[in-house]
Structure 1
Amino acid sequence: MTSWLLRASCALLLGLASLATQAVPRFEDVRQAFAPSEALLLDRRGEPIERLRVDASVRRGDWVPLANVSPALRHALVLSEDRRFYEHSGVDWRAVGAAAWANLWNTRTRGASTLTMQLAGLIDDDWRHTTGGRSVTQKLGQALMATRLEQGWRKDQILEAYLNLVPFRGELVGIDALARTLFGKAPHGLDDVESAVAAAMVRAPNAPAAQVSRRACGVLRAMQVEATDCTALDLQATAALARRAWPAGDGIAPHVARRLLAGQPGGARITSTLDAGLQRLALQTLQQHVKELRGQHVEDGAVVVLDNASGEVLAWVGSTGDLSDAAQVDMAASRRQPGSTLKPFLYAEAIAEKRLTAASLLHDSPAHLQTASGLYIPQNYDRQFKGWVSVRTALASSLNVPAVRAGAMVTPEALTRQLDALGLNLREPGGYYGYSLALGSAEVTLADLTNAYRALANLGRVAPIAFTPGARPRATQALDAGAAFIVGDILSDPEARAATFGTDSLLATRFWSAVKTGTSKDMRDNWAVGFSRRYTVGVWVGNAGGAAMWDVSGTSGAAPVWAALMQQLHAHTPSRPPTPPPGVVRAAVRFGERLEAARSEWFLKDTQQPLFAIDTEAGGARPDWAGGLKDIKNATVPARITAPQDGVILALDPDIPPARQRLQLAAEAGGAPASSLRWWIGAREVGRGAQADWLPWPGRHVLQLRDAQGRVLDERRLEVRGALPKPGARPPA
């Protein structure tokens, strides 16, 4: 006995010494240090819309004030763990005496540890219970700290901290994680049975379900709950302990949450630009429409909604959720072939270069184009050809062959530069795609494509999108404002798209809007992207795995979702046609017999003319724009370099005489006399006329085609590699 008293005295002295040097934390400090295992994503008005787990070691929810905890649970916990909680001052000496007497006679009891003592172990690791039990020093130190806690904290604060810090089962710590995970509800909603089950888990967090239910039944009887049915309670406890996830309804923006909350600490609350109501509508509309398309082998989709002025992301749906086999993949940020949705940028570039106008005539007829990989024969969607059509009709009706002809005028290299300037960031140079780039053979993301259409809405100004409020990236002019305006006007014209879509399609809204659909090769992707004065909406449907859809058209795939969201966005907000920018004029135009009806058309200044017709006097159908021009190339495009191609690399061979390695330069004169053309490389004129030859000089060069007044008509960049000239030698003429 003397030895035991000596050890106890020493342990007590050590505990007192430890506590003498250790300050008991304040309740406010403990609550402030509490870190949930999730970070929280808020919408633009502060509404929680998604949780993301950032701590994989435990699962903690939010700190729950005691007033928001079910009274039944508070009652059950006190009855189960510390019946004299409101009477003692940290240590229940009656329970200590009973435990000592039981130990003397080897009788099992509940133990003498109070809620306050347990809280001391939860706050300070030195006094925490371990698998080997607590030492005498730990027990005494825990008791002393509990006494000091009771001196500085109120009883309600002790109970509140305990409920938020106690481990319940497995990785679940705190009442918020327990209630939402095992019972699928907030802590204030726990009933008597659920409260008894929760209290029963405190003493043995990982006990089998049968043991938990037996203890819970005893707690219910102690609570004097009438008609306690322990058999039914066992079934309910078993079902609850099998659950392991937050309710699915807690999140509507998982992909944005991963984007913004990754790397954030637990408990972080990040405000996004998303609109919770619009996000829910976009998700529900997409899911409902994809359900309707399941019979046509469609299971995935994505939606992006942008504010035109700020670039803020108002809605971002990366997948169809449970409908998809790849719900974790963010399809709004995945690269897919955009099909005809690239055509507006092609025609905008052609108009900006003054190669075409909205009234220019293009021939919709079979075309055979020689490429490096073989013969390319573009087809229209309906495999029918409409003959001579205006650019307005060709774009609005999404005709493929005229687009390829326009792409040949612009060149794939120039189109690639334009698309990259708009933020589409193609992975390969223009030559890799060839003429098929005009029909969307490259891969882009829905987010980038939607933002590029936003640039059309903003008259050619492009800026990155924003996920957090207040971020206003600087905009740059990536596309001619007049060309962007004209293309937007074409995409808003229901009459111009009637040849393909009819006059009453989903694309025709009650307010001003501009829209384009697209379908990729083998019907693997379907798109609808368009804008009003205030918003830009992009929609994609398809299959994340790349499987083809069955019989999904431009207006049955993504367009219904686009139309529904646009209608909702403008339910109470008007959208009027934009004001034309400086440099754009409107003029009356007429067309040749049986072509198109006369109309008023938009032009870049100095490109307008009154008549667009076909002249057959030369023995073939050729467009006669004005002044009796007979040559289709001269009539439809200004002067341009046809050889060499942009970005060409030449290699000089030292074994071949220099005079036999001259590079042939060729150009189309357009409406200008061929004799007025001048070839320049750097600061030197190297030739005149529609054709010339140049002796290549090692280095990187800019080849320019100029008129007699020195104005640059076209240019190409090229590189010459090979033997270097002798020191001091001058470039050859």
Structure 2
Amino acid sequence: MTALWAAAVMVTGALPGLANALPTYTEVRAAYRPSDTLILDRTGQVIQRLRTDPTVRRGQWTLLQDISPALRTAMVLSEDQRFYEHSGVDWRAASAAAWGNLWNSKTRGASTITMQLAALLDGDGFLQRGAGGRSVVQKLGQTVAAQVLDRRWRKDQILEAYLNVVPFRGEVVGIDALSRTLFGKAPHGLDEREAAVAAALVRAPNAKVQQVSQRACGVLKALQPGGKVSCEGLDMFATAALQRRDFDTSEGIAPHLARRLVAQSMRAGFEPVAFALGTNAAAATPPASTSTGAPTASPAQPRALPPATVRSTLSAPLQRFALETLQRHLRELHGRHVEDGALVVLDNASGEVLAWVGSSGELSEAPEVDGVLAPRQPGPTLKPFLYAQAIAQRRITAASLLEDSPAHIPTASGLYIPQNYDRQFKGWVSARTALAASLNVPAVRTLVMVSPDAFAKQLKAVGLPLRELGDYYGYSLALGSAEVPLLNLTNAYRTLANGGVYGPISTVIPSPMAVIPATAVIPDSIRDPSLREAASLQRQRGLRVKPAMTAPGQQAIDPRAAFIVGDILSDSNARARTFGTSSILATRFWSAVKTGTSKDMRDNWAVGWSQR
């Protein structure tokens, strides 16, 4: 008796802190994160689903109005019949449960939906059920917390939050994940039989199928009072619904960029939360307890959460077209030692990535490898930057004659003897023809004029991440001996398209606000009510908001030289010596393009731009 009295005193002292620790409905919504992050295209269309929380399977937050009436009714009838009448605690049910326990008779539980939600929102673990159930002290705390919750929240908010965070079977948490996992449909489409099975899982999430079907039968009868309800076939239906299903951790048309965006978001740091949502009670570790049976309250550890959605700069139609085009060409080249490919499309003006295809997906032997970011030798695709530098330095013009003949260039390691792709020589040619037709020997002679070290600095100025100085690569740098990623090379060509102005790449549509650590008032410039509400919540947590900034571009190439190089690369007649007059590089609109083949003909490249 003394121990019980001491426990009661202890809990009474802890109750004000427990009540204050309960989050608001807005905070719960803000803290909620699905187990999958959805990557959206620039218009808001879902293009990729990526599993980011392996501990649970939690779907999107579902509004109460988007949950079928059958499920809402079934859940209330099963868990809390007087939900809309009591103030958080059903004292009539509690009395019946206490009387039943006294006489050791079978009775229904007394935990209301509000009490269960209070325990689920308890970040300190004080109210979490232990291996032997909740202690008297925990029940008392749960009762107080439920009454506080009922005063602060509306009934529809309580039921909505409960349905979104309640654990179901196995790793499944929340009604959206349950509906899609067990029944293959959204929550608004659940019928009475499906709703009965869902409600039956709350009381015993991991029960055997027979127990689930028996309880579901009772719920089904409660849904149709006075009617003739047949539970025939319910066992078979429950067995089919509860079969284990394997789900891909990622599905969509942009897996490589999706992983990159989520990783960047996590590194940038998301707003930490101090309470966990929807922990599976069956798998949860019971908290440590004192001698009175009360769990030891420990401060919740804030944790960074992955974003629920990321709005990318991709264009879904263009991304799909790029992927399908790559796959079609790879199928056509099957058996010709072409194994995989990658593709990226940038917007010239903004630098936004419109398409990002890291591999051919199902056709690839290494689908996880991102060819957009993998460093590879780009071959002659570096030549435009060399000629632009030589033109800017007034060493050559587009009409200058360069000798395409055998060359023996002395280096520290011996003679360097460059060869053309076809191992033939064209004699004296103009710089225009040498670049457009991608002749190797004239390019090397041009690099002798510029110097490898100066050329390496030019390549770094347009964003190519060379790992060594120019002298390390020597004169082979003119032919692309340095490894660079496709993304950086494409952006370097974008520099040529923009008159020599280098600018950064963006993969995410910028938010109206950027979160930075500090405290401040909400700016008057934020007029959207939803944004102001979010800003208010940020301010309460020690954060403030300000508009996101865009980095300015830098002049990396002489604009006149960039124009001349673009004109050369768009000249079909100038490239005819190598590609003919009607090659695949010719388009019906203005475009500049350069191809490249790496050493030992390992990789083929094609990079270009249009006026967009």
Alignment partner for residue 114 of structure 1, among 112, 115, 126? 112
Cα 1:409–1:149, aligned 2, differ >3 Å: closer, same or farther?
A: closer
1:283 has 2:323 as partner: yes
Looking at structure 1, the residues matched to 337 and 177 of structure 2 have their Cα atoms a distance apart, in angstroms, of: 39
1:281 CA displacement:
3.4
1:142 CA displacement:
2.5
Looking at structure 2, the residues matched to 26 and 352 of structure 1 have their Cα atoms a distance apart, in angstroms, of: 63
Give the structure-1-normalised TM-score: 0.64
Alignment partner for residue 254 of structure 1, among 244, 248, 258? 258
Residue matched to 1:704: none
Alignment of 1:360-379 (within 5 A): 360-379=400-419
1:19 CA displacement:
4.1
Q: Which amino acid aligns with 1:527?
A: W
Alignment of 1:568-647 (within 5 A): none
Question: Which stretch has the larger CA shift, 94-103 or 392-401?
Answer: 94-103
Looking at structure 2, the residues matched to 179 and 322 of structure 1 have their Cα atoms a distance apart, in angstroms, of: 29
1:375 CA displacement:
4.4
Looking at structure 2, the residues matched to 299 and 238 of structure 1 have their Cα atoms a distance apart, in angstroms, of: 41
Looking at structure 2, the residues matched to 298 and 226 of structure 1 have their Cα atoms a distance apart, in angstroms, of: 61
The superposition leaves residues 527-556 of structure 1 with CA deviations (integer Å, 9 ceiling, x where unpaired) of 21111222xxxxxxxxxxxxxxxxxxxxxx
Looking at structure 1, the residues matched to 131 and 97 of structure 2 have their Cα atoms a distance apart, in angstroms, of: 20
The superposition leaves residues 266-315 of structure 1 with CA deviations (integer Å, 9 ceiling, x where unpaired) of 34655443334433433343344444444444454333222223323333
Looking at structure 2, the residues matched to 332 and 251 of structure 1 have their Cα atoms a distance apart, in angstroms, of: 12
Residue matched to 2:373: 333
Residue matched to 2:598: 520
Cα 1:247–1:411, aligned 2, differ >3 Å: closer, same or farther?
A: closer
Q: Which amino acid aligns with 2:31?
A: F
Looking at structure 2, the residues matched to 79 and 441 of structure 1 have their Cα atoms a distance apart, in angstroms, of: 72
Looking at structure 1, the residues matched to 105 and 610 of structure 2 have their Cα atoms a distance apart, in angstroms, of: 80
Q: Which amino acid aligns with 2:567?
A: D
Looking at structure 2, the residues matched to 342 and 289 of structure 1 have their Cα atoms a distance apart, in angstroms, of: 25
Cα 1:60–1:531, aligned 2, differ >3 Å: closer, same or farther?
A: same
Q: Which amino acid aligns with 2:568?
A: I
State whether residues 51 and 250 of structure 1, in contact with CA within 8 Å, keep that contact through their aligned partners in structure 2: no
1:204 CA displacement:
2.7
Residue matched to 2:441: 401
SS in 1 for 2:372: helix
Looking at structure 2, the residues matched to 251 and 92 of structure 1 have their Cα atoms a distance apart, in angstroms, of: 50
SS in 2 for 1:388: strand
State whether residues 358 and 372 of structure 2, in contact with CA within 8 Å, keep that contact through their aligned partners in structure 1: yes
Aligned residues: 529
Residue matched to 2:32: 35
The superposition leaves residues 409-438 of structure 1 with CA deviations (integer Å, 9 ceiling, x where unpaired) of 333233222212222131122222222222
1:348 has 2:399 as partner: no
Residue matched to 1:511: 589
Residue matched to 2:203: 203
Alignment of 1:49-448 (within 5 A): 49-50=47-48, 58-124=56-122, 125-180=125-180, 185-207=185-207, 212=212, 215-216=215-216, 219-220=219-220, 223=223, 228-239=232-243, 241-244=244-247, 248-249=251-252, 253-263=257-267, 264-265=269-270, 266=305, 267=307, 270-448=310-488
1:491 CA displacement:
0.5
1:102 CA displacement:
4.2
Greater gyration radius: 1
The superposition leaves residues 661-697 of structure 1 with CA deviations (integer Å, 9 ceiling, x where unpaired) of xxxxxxxxxxxxxxxxxxxxxxxxxxxxxxxxxxxxx
Please tell me the root mean square deviation across aligned C-alpha atoms, in Å. 3.5
Q: Which amino acid aligns with 1:36?
A: R
Structure 1, unmatched stretches of 5+, are: 535-733
Residue matched to 2:288: none
Give the structure-2-normalised TM-score: 0.75
Identical aligned residues as a percent: 63
Looking at structure 1, the residues matched to 246 and 192 of structure 2 have their Cα atoms a distance apart, in angstroms, of: 19
Alignment partner for residue 497 of structure 2, among 453, 457, 472? 457
Looking at structure 1, the residues matched to 254 and 445 of structure 2 have their Cα atoms a distance apart, in angstroms, of: 48
Looking at structure 2, the residues matched to 119 and 430 of structure 1 have their Cα atoms a distance apart, in angstroms, of: 64
SS in 1 for 2:386: helix
Cα 1:184–1:324, aligned 2, differ >3 Å: closer, same or farther?
A: farther
SS in 1 for 2:132: coil
SS in 2 for 1:301: coil
State whether residues 181 and 245 of structure 1, in contact with CA within 8 Å, keep that contact through their aligned partners in structure 2: no
Alignment of 1:3-14 (within 5 A): none
Cα 1:383–1:220, aligned 2, differ >3 Å: closer, same or farther?
A: farther
SS in 1 for 2:341: strand
1:186 CA displacement:
3.6
Structure number with greater CO (CA < 8 Å, separation at least 6) is 2
Cα 1:368–1:175, aligned 2, differ >3 Å: closer, same or farther?
A: same
State whether residues 372 and 487 of structure 2, in contact with CA within 8 Å, keep that contact through their aligned partners in structure 1: yes
Residue matched to 1:599: none
Q: Which amino acid aligns with 1:199?
A: A
Alignment of 1:668-687 (within 5 A): none
Cα 1:471–1:151, aligned 2, differ >3 Å: closer, same or farther?
A: closer
The superposition leaves residues 337-386 of structure 1 with CA deviations (integer Å, 9 ceiling, x where unpaired) of 00121111222223233333222333434444444444444333333333
SS in 1 for 2:463: coil
Looking at structure 2, the residues matched to 344 and 334 of structure 1 have their Cα atoms a distance apart, in angstroms, of: 22
Residue matched to 1:476: 554
Q: Which amino acid aligns with 1:502?
A: G
The superposition leaves residues 196-230 of structure 1 with CA deviations (integer Å, 9 ceiling, x where unpaired) of 44333322334456654565465456546767523
Looking at structure 1, the residues matched to 373 and 579 of structure 2 have their Cα atoms a distance apart, in angstroms, of: 29
Question: Which stretch has the larger CA shift, 479-488 or 135-144?
Answer: 135-144
1:103 CA displacement:
3.3
Looking at structure 1, the residues matched to 177 and 196 of structure 2 have their Cα atoms a distance apart, in angstroms, of: 16
Cα 1:151–1:518, aligned 2, differ >3 Å: closer, same or farther?
A: same
Higher-strand-fraction structure: 1
State whether residues 466 and 472 of structure 1, in contact with CA within 8 Å, keep that contact through their aligned partners in structure 2: no
Cα 1:67–1:422, aligned 2, differ >3 Å: closer, same or farther?
A: same
Structure 2, unmatched stretches of 5+, are: 271-304, 511-547
Cα 1:219–1:388, aligned 2, differ >3 Å: closer, same or farther?
A: farther
Question: Which stretch has the larger CA shift, 9-18 or 518-527?
Answer: 9-18
State whether residues 34 and 61 of structure 2, in contact with CA within 8 Å, keep that contact through their aligned partners in structure 1: no
Looking at structure 2, the residues matched to 376 and 106 of structure 1 have their Cα atoms a distance apart, in angstroms, of: 95
Looking at structure 1, the residues matched to 595 and 57 of structure 2 have their Cα atoms a distance apart, in angstroms, of: 45
State whether residues 51 and 249 of structure 2, in contact with CA within 8 Å, keep that contact through their aligned partners in structure 1: no
Cα 1:474–1:486, aligned 2, differ >3 Å: closer, same or farther?
A: same
Question: Which stretch has the larger CA shift, 347-356 or 49-58?
Answer: 49-58
